[in-house]
Amino acid sequence: SSEFTYDYIVVGGGTGGLVVANRLSEQETTSVLVIEAGGSVYNNINVTDTGGYGNAFGTTIDWAYQTTDQEYAAGKPQIVRAGKALGGTSTINGMVYLRAQTAQIDAWEAIGNKGWNWNSLFPYYRKGEDFQGIHYSWLEGSGVAYDPADHGYTGPLKVGWSSTQLNDGLAQQLNATYQNMVPPVPYNKDPNGGQMVGYALYPKTVDSIKNIREDAARAYYYPYQNRTNLHVWLNTNANRLTWKDGDAATADGVEVTLANGTTIVVKASREVIVAAGALKSPVLLELSGIGNPDILSKYGIQTKVNLSTVGENLQDQMNNGLVYDSMISYSKSADYVAYPSVNQLFTNASAIGAQLYAKLPAYAAQVASANGNITKASNIERFFKIQWHLIFKSHIPVAEILLEPSGNTYDTEYWGSVPFSRGNVHIQSADPTAAASIDPKYFMLDFDLHAQIEAARFIRKLFKTEPFAGMAGDETSPGLSAVAANAGDEGWASFIKNNYRSNFHPISTVAMMPKEVGGVVDTSLKVYGTSNVRVVDASVMPFQVCGHLQSTVYAVAERAADIIKVE
Ligand code: FAD
């Protein structure tokens, strides 16, 4: 028995978790506890400063998960960052607010998640949003634009542009440049309506007036903290779920270690909602006895639910950058994105598509063999064909190109949007504080490298196209002496593999899919084989999205709350 009992316990007070906690506690008779390993960062300048991206890295609010040595990418490990604070990764992220292409969310339904498609998710993107518009004097001339129908105006999460937005004409010069590229990259007024291909200025999770970061805690918790039925325990680590006596896998609480080091059990009378992030939620399931018996038994954990695919299907993207001198000095910055489709990224898209299609069975076999056939090659091949179709037939963005002016430089970041490589994350100990084994298998499949190389070439082409070419100076990284102007794939490959980082977009480790094709949660986000354990965070997304993850995590969590409320 325990002196603490709540209707719902939410494990992880991050991006997804705080949405669910907020919405469930709208019902006054429902009690909700949030367990969060980190503390409050409400007044942490590394969080609130909209120009401070990166300042929180390596501090106490960064989990800084380390991967295994990446055998397909120079043999080195990577750091995958994630926020350890009330608000989770939304407190340290780049604040980019970009959703997905309609066809990508429709693909969730195509793999067997009935009812999960763009049309059913779109209202939830808007439900969470408090779009602040562009009617501020400091945005005049900045080039920002939007389609009113694509946004929500009554949700908790502020989205918009802040007073640091650059308005000196660069947006317009870049647009002219993209139109001059061969083939041209069309202007996209609002990439948040489900059509992402093109060049756009995107909004962020910022408070436009105060010019501070908007994160999950500032949106979904602090304005509601006086609710007596909503409690948050900070600096408290969830160790494992506890189970009700009997055969059915019914969770009845969570074992936690409090800030003072004491370990106790807190009871849940209805459900436990796991929202610890894509690199932690599967680990918590395994520590609780849900997973692959071969892994669990190695660490003396009794199997409660035999579900071998927990922790599989890990998908991330790889991030590289090129840096150029600028002829102009910038004291403000702004956010410009280009989303090329295959026809804009590859010179011979149909040939590349045909070659890739022929390789998909081999790709699927390689993924399955790398995880001991826990995920089946036949299922993976089906998913890969759907992914191929998205890229070559639905023409989703196949890469993302960000341009960031700052001081006397133009920084760029780029990545292939939908890598095929699949890795995994698993426990290496029964100790809940021990590091898990995280293996994204970056660059395992050659299309992923190819997309990364073509994105780099695309950037070089952009910087050679007028009028922007006249505003930019030399390429300082990697520079033409490191990667020659006419470098072949080999020349690019070594730069890319030695200099990439994680794009910090891990997903799918607790994938929402039918159980028979390797899923871990069903369409109500309930873990197969349990009666009352759900997962609500980036782990459940079965495919990568072309936007960034947070908007889709917020939307999925909004929908999850509605699903939980009617049960
Ligand atoms: P999180 O928000 O990470 O929430 C998980 C929570 O669980 C955390 O608060 C964590 O401390 C807590 N937790 C974990 N384990 C335990 C435990 N055992 N006990 C108790 N609590 C626990 N996305 C965008 O859309 N735009 C961007 O610009 C962008 N930039 C990014 C930049 C960086 C550096 C990073 C790391 C990510 C970025 N992302 C971005 C990705 C996006 O922020 C995340 O995908 C998203 O916030 C994840 O939400 P989540 O709910 O899955 O997990």
Q: Which residues pair with 33 in a beta bridge?
A: 9, 231
Q: What is the ipTM of this complex?
A: 1.00
pLDDT confidence of residue 50: 95
Question: Quick one: 147 exposed, middle or buried, by C-beta within 10 A (0-12, 13-18, 19+)?
Answer: exposed
Instruction: With H, G, I as helix, E, B as strand and everything else as coil, classify residue 111.
Output: coil
pLDDT confidence of residue 164: 87
Ligand 1 mean position, distance from CA 173 (Å): 35
- CB neighbours (10 Å) of residue 130? 17
**Lowest mean per-residue pLDDT among 158-167, 370-379, 388-397, 456-465:** 158-167
Dihedral sign for Cα atoms in the order 439, 440, 442, 448? positive
What CATH number is attached to the domain comprising 189?
Answer: 3.50.50.60
- Which of 406, 358, 450, 418 has the alpha carbon at shortest distance from 543? 418
Helix (H) or strand (E) holding 71: none
Phi, then psi, of 446 in degrees rounded to 5: -70, -20
Decide if pLDDT at 390 tops 90.
Answer: yes
Which residue puts its alpha carbon closest to atom 53 of ligand 1? 277
Q: Would you say the CB of residue 509 lies under 6 angstroms from ligand 1? A: no
Q: Would you say the CB of residue 285 lies under 6 angstroms from ligand 1? A: no
- Which residues in 20-33 are b (16+ Cβ under 10 Å) and which e? bbbbbbeeeebbbb
Query: How far apart are the C-alpha atoms of 249 and 532, rounded to whole Å?
Result: 8
pLDDT confidence of residue 248: 85
Q: Would you say the CB of residue 240 lies under 6 angstroms from ligand 1? A: no
pLDDT confidence of residue 525: 98
pLDDT confidence of residue 246: 85
**Closest ligand 1 atom to 16 CA:** 51
Ligand 1 mean position, distance from CA 509 (Å): 14
**Closest ligand 1 atom to 506 CA:** 45
pLDDT digits (tens, 9 = 90+) for 20-55: 999 999 999 999 999 999 999 999 999 999 999 999
Query: How far apart are the C-alpha atoms of 469 and 505, rounded to whole Å?
Result: 31
- Residues of the domain holding 58: 5-565
Report the catalytic residues.
505, 548
Q: Please say whether the beta carbons of 240 and 288 come within 8 A.
A: yes
pLDDT confidence of residue 20: 99
Please give the share of the chain, as a percent, with pLDDT higher than 90: 97
pLDDT confidence of residue 3: 87
Q: Please say whether the beta carbons of 13 and 36 come within 8 A.
A: yes
- CB neighbours (10 Å) of residue 66? 14
Decide if pLDDT at 451 tops 60.
Answer: yes
Peptide bond into 506 cis (omega under 30): no
| pLDDT band, residue 1 (cuts 50/70/90) | low
Which residue puts its alpha carbon closest to atom 4 of ligand 1? 14
Q: Would you say the CB of residue 89 lies under 6 angstroms from ligand 1? A: yes
Q: Would you say the CB of residue 152 lies under 6 angstroms from ligand 1? A: no
Decide if pLDDT at 487 tops 70.
Answer: yes
pLDDT digits (tens, 9 = 90+) for 205-217: 999 999 999 999 9
Summarize the confidence of residues 92-111 as an average pLDDT. 98
**Structural domains counted in the chain:** 1
